Chain A
Amino acid sequence: MLETTRSRWLHDCLGYAVAAVMVATAIAAIFLLAPTEETMGAAQRIVYIHVSVAWMGLAAFVGMAVTGGMYLFSRELAWDHWSRAALEIGWLCCSLTLATGSLWAHAAWNTWWTWDPRLTTAFVLWAMYSAALVLRSGVEDPHRRARLGAIVAIVGLLDVPLVIMATRWFRGIHPKSPHMEPAMRVVLVISIACFSVFFTMLLLLRRSQLRMAEMLEDLEESGN
Chain B
Amino acid sequence: MVSKDLLSECRSLRVWPAMLLLGVVVALMFAMQADLPPERLRQIVGGLLWLTIFFAGTLALDRSFAAEREDGCWEGLLGYPVSPTCVYLAKLTVNVVALAALECVLIPLFAILTDVPLVAHPAPIVTVAVLGNLGLAAVGTLLSAVANTGRQSSYLLPLLVLPMVIPLVLGAAEATRLAVEHDFGPDWWRWVQLLAGFAIVFITAGIVLFEFAVEE
* Chain A interface residues toward B at CB < 8 A: 72, 124, 127-128, 130-131, 134-135, 138-139, 144, 147-148, 150-152, 154-156, 158-159, 162-163, 165-167, 169-170
Contact = CB atoms under 8 A, between A and B. Distances in A.
B213 A162 contact: no
B197 interface: yes
Given A158-B201, A166-B171, A151 B209 contact: yes
Contact of A155 (B143, B194, B197, B215): B143
A124 B170 CA distance: 13
A135 B146 contact: yes
B150 interface: yes
21 contacts: A124-B163, A127-B163, A128-B163, A134-B152, A135-B146, A135-B147, A135-B156, A138-B151, A148-B150, A148-B213, A151-B146, A152-B143, A154-B209, A155-B142, A158-B201, A162-B201, A165-B194, A166-B167, A166-B171, A169-B174, A169-B190
B212 interface: yes
B164 interface: yes
Contacts of B151: 138-139
A82 B212 CA distance: 19
B139 interface: yes
A162 B149 contact: no
A28 to B, nearest CB: 37
B205 interface: yes
Given A124-B163, A155-B143, A148 B149 contact: yes
A75 B160 CA distance: 24
Contacts, number: 81
Interface of B: 139, 142-143, 146-147, 149-152, 156, 159-160, 162-164, 166-167, 170-171, 174, 190-191, 194, 197-198, 201-202, 205, 209, 212-213, 215
Task: Name, among A127, A150, A155, A167, the residue most crowded by chain B CB atoms within 10 Å (CB to CB).
Answer: A155
A192 to B, nearest CB: 26
Contacts of B190: 169
Majority SS of interface residues in chain A? helix
A73 to B, nearest CB: 10
Contacts of A144: 149
Contacts of B159: 130-131, 134
Nearest to B135: A162
A202 B197 CA distance: 37
Contacts of B150: 135, 138-139, 148
Nearest to A128: B163
Contacts of A151: 142, 146, 209, 212-213
Given A134-B152, A147-B215, A155-B209, A165 B167 contact: yes
Contact of B164 (A72, A147, A150, A156): A156
B176 to A, nearest CB: 14
A147 B211 CA distance: 11
Nearest to B161: A131
A221 B201 CA distance: 42
A154 B197 contact: no
Contacts of A139: 149-151
Nearest to A140: B151
Contacts of A156: 163-164
A165 B202 CA distance: 16
A108 B65 CA distance: 48
Nearest to B147: A135
A138 B157 CA distance: 13
Contacts of B167: 159, 162-163, 165-167
Given A134-B156, A158-B201, A169-B190, A163 B166 contact: yes
Contacts of B143: 152, 155
